[in-house]
Amino acid sequence: MTRRSRLISVFDRHARRRDEHGYVLALTALIILPLLLISAMAVDYGGWYSQGARMQRAADAAALAGVVWLPDLATATTVAQSTAKANGYDDALSNITVAVSKLSDYELKVTITDTAGRVYLASWVKNAVTITRTSSAKYVLPVPLGSPRNYFGTGPNVTGSDTYGSKTENFYAAINGYCQSKYQGDPFAVPFINSGNNNTCGAGGNIANGDYIGPASSTYPDQYQYYITVPPSRSQNIVVDIWSPWVDGPADTADATPTFELRAPDNTPLDDSDNPLVTCVTGGQTNPREYTAADNDRTLLGVSGWSDFCTIGTNAATYPAGKYILGIRTKAAESNNAGLNSYSIMASYASSVGTTCDSRSDATCPKVSGKNWISIYANAPGTAKFYLAEIGPEYAGKTLLITLFDPGEGGNSINILDPNGNKVNFVATDEGVDGVTPGTPLASSNSLDVTASRYNGKYVQLSIDLASSYATDFAAATGGYWWKIQYNYSGSVTDRSTWGVKVLGNPVHLTS
pLDDT of the residue at 10: 45
Confidence band, pLDDT 50/70/90 cuts, at residue 267: confident
For the chain, the domain total comes to: 3
Share of the chain above pLDDT 90, in %: 61
pLDDT of the residue at 122: 46
328 in Cβ contact with 223 (< 8 Å): yes
In the structure, how many helices (H) and strands (E) does the chain have? 3, 26
- Which of 109, 139, 169 lies at the terminal end of a domain, its last residue? 139
294 in Cβ contact with 248 (< 8 Å): yes
What's the distance, Cα to Cα, between the start and end of the chain in Å? Answer: 82
For 428, phi then psi, to 5°, come to: -95, 145
Do residues 405 and 363 share a domain?
Answer: no
- Which of 342, 363, 379 lies at the terminal end of a domain, its last residue? 379
Q: What angle do CA 39, 41, 43 make, to 5 degrees?
A: 70
* Beta strand pairing call for 459-465 and 399-405: antiparallel
Do residues 322 and 259 share a domain?
Answer: yes
Per-residue pLDDT reduced to its tens digit, 101-151: 999 878 999 999 988 766 554 444 555 678 899 999 988 888 999 999 999
CA proximity to 221, closest of 348, 104, 372, 108: 372
Cβ-in-10-Å burial (0-12, 13-18, 19+) of 394 comes to middle
For 84, phi then psi, to 5°, come to: -60, -40
The CATH code of the domain that includes 486 is 2.60.120
CA distance 71 to 50: 33
Do residues 402 and 342 share a domain?
Answer: no
Do residues 300 and 268 share a domain?
Answer: yes
- Which of 346, 362, 379 lies at the terminal end of a domain, its last residue? 379
Do residues 421 and 487 share a domain?
Answer: yes
Asked which of 28-32, 48-52, 297-301, 383-387 is least confident by mean pLDDT, the reply is 28-32
Do residues 365 and 481 share a domain?
Answer: no
CA dihedral sign of residues 65, 66, 67, 70: positive
Q: What 8-state DSSP symbol labels residue 167?
A: -
CA distance 213 to 31: 78
Domain span holding position 40: 3-139
41 in Cβ contact with 122 (< 8 Å): yes
CA distance 179 to 203: 10
Do residues 250 and 364 share a domain?
Answer: yes
Give residues with Cβ within 8 angstroms of 40, minimum separation 6.
Answer: 120, 121, 122, 125
CA distance 84 to 88: 6
Strand order in the sheet with 482-488: 383-390, 482-488, 413-417, 448-449
Do residues 510 and 391 share a domain?
Answer: yes
375 in Cβ contact with 185 (< 8 Å): yes
pTM value is 0.83
Do residues 321 and 198 share a domain?
Answer: yes
Do residues 455 and 443 share a domain?
Answer: yes
CA distance 374 to 403: 11
Asked which of 86-95, 109-118, 387-396, 431-440 is least confident by mean pLDDT, the reply is 431-440
Per-residue pLDDT reduced to its tens digit, 274-326: 899 999 999 889 999 999 888 889 999 999 999 999 999 999 999 999 999 99
Do residues 393 and 337 share a domain?
Answer: no
Burial 459-469 (b: 16+ CB within 10 A, else e): bbbbebebeee
Query: What is the chain's length?
Result: 512
Q: Give the dihedral of Cα atoms 143, 148, 151, 153; nearest 10 deg.
A: -60
Do residues 47 and 8 share a domain?
Answer: yes
